[in-house]
Amino acid sequence: MENKDKIKVFVAGEEHKKYVSEINDTIQRASEERGTGIARRTDEYIISKMEEGKAVIAIDGDKFAGFCYIESWSHNKFVANSGLIVAPQYRGIGLAKQIKEKAFELSRKKFPEAKIFGLTTGLAVMKINSELGYKPVTFSELTDDEAFWKGCQSCVNYDILMRTQRTKCLCTAMLFDPKRQQKKNEKPQPEGKLISFKKWLKNKNTSGYVEPFTTKLKRVMNYLALNETFKNKHKNAIGSV
């Protein structure tokens, strides 16, 4: 297992084209190992992502360690983080999370209003997505851009997707909605410091005697009952005048 501290994760550029074949070969092997779909892209496609500043790469010195890219769909209303892959010798050290977080950051920077989504069969990726604010959704909530779904043709499970009219597959769909997240962040918080009823009762006792909680509760309930009785008598007295 390699040392994660030596690995650099950053936005890929043209200087990283030399890793393209290794990236695609790693994706292909991972797909075969899992028996599930990681769609292989052409070398030209991966290069275009690097040239556009829409890819994240992890490098250990001069060795390839991991990769992910982003793509926008439906006139930039949706963004997908795709092709997340970690080289075998770098797995199990949290590198996938680092790459995913960087890709998420890049997506938010380039397309701040877009919904970010992903399709995955990996539990580790689902966990990372959840921590970033993604929610599981149905396929109907994803982009309807035909170009996106065409990209699934190289997946081994493409026939399942087509048989279900693109309503389900072995992948789980997850979505980050910036508007939903904004509403959550803007939700008003109660003012002041909230103190539990039990803690309040404890704080009200200033003597050295530690009164049992049940006794305190009965005392307060009796006080409230007497107070209510007094209010009712006072109200009746006013009504009889």
- The DSSP output letter for 142 is S
Average pLDDT over the chain, rounded to an integer: 82
| Range in 14-28, 38-52, 121-135, 227-241 with the lowest mean pLDDT | 227-241
Rounded to two decimals, the pTM is: 0.70
- Token pair of 144, please? 């309807």
- Tell me, yes or no, whether 41 and 148 share the same domain: yes
Question: In the chain, how many domains are there?
Answer: 2
126-160 as b/e: b if 16+ CB within 10 A: bebbeebbbeeeebeebbebeebbebbebbebbee
Do both 182 and 208 map to the same domain? no
Domain-located, residue 38: yes
Q: Could you give the 3-state DSSP secondary structure of residue 105?
A: helix
Q: Are residues 158 and 210 in the same domain?
A: no
For residue 223, give its domain range: 197-239
Instruction: Report pLDDT for 227.
Output: 63
Two tokens at 208? 């050295």
Helix (H) / strand (E) containing 85: strand 78-86
- Gap between the Cα atoms of 23 and 6, Å rounded: 20
| Residue 150, helix vs strand vs coil | helix
Residue 128 lies in a domain: yes
Query: Is residue 12's pLDDT more than 60?
Result: yes
* Beta-bridge mates of residue 137: 173
Q: Indicate whether 192 belongs to any domain.
A: no
Tokens at 17, concatenated: 């084209």
pLDDT in tens, 68-125: 999 999 999 999 988 899 999 999 999 999 999 999 999 999 999 999 999 888 888 8
Q: Return the ∠ at Cα 130 (arms to 128 and 134), rounded to 5°.
A: 115
How is residue 171 annotated by DSSP?
Answer: S
pLDDT at 151: 81
Q: How far is CA 57 from CA 29, 65, 212, in A?
A: 18, 8, 61
Distance between CA atoms of residues 190 and 193, nearest Å: 8
Domain membership of residue 191 (yes or no) is no
Give the CATH number for residue 15: 3.40.630.30
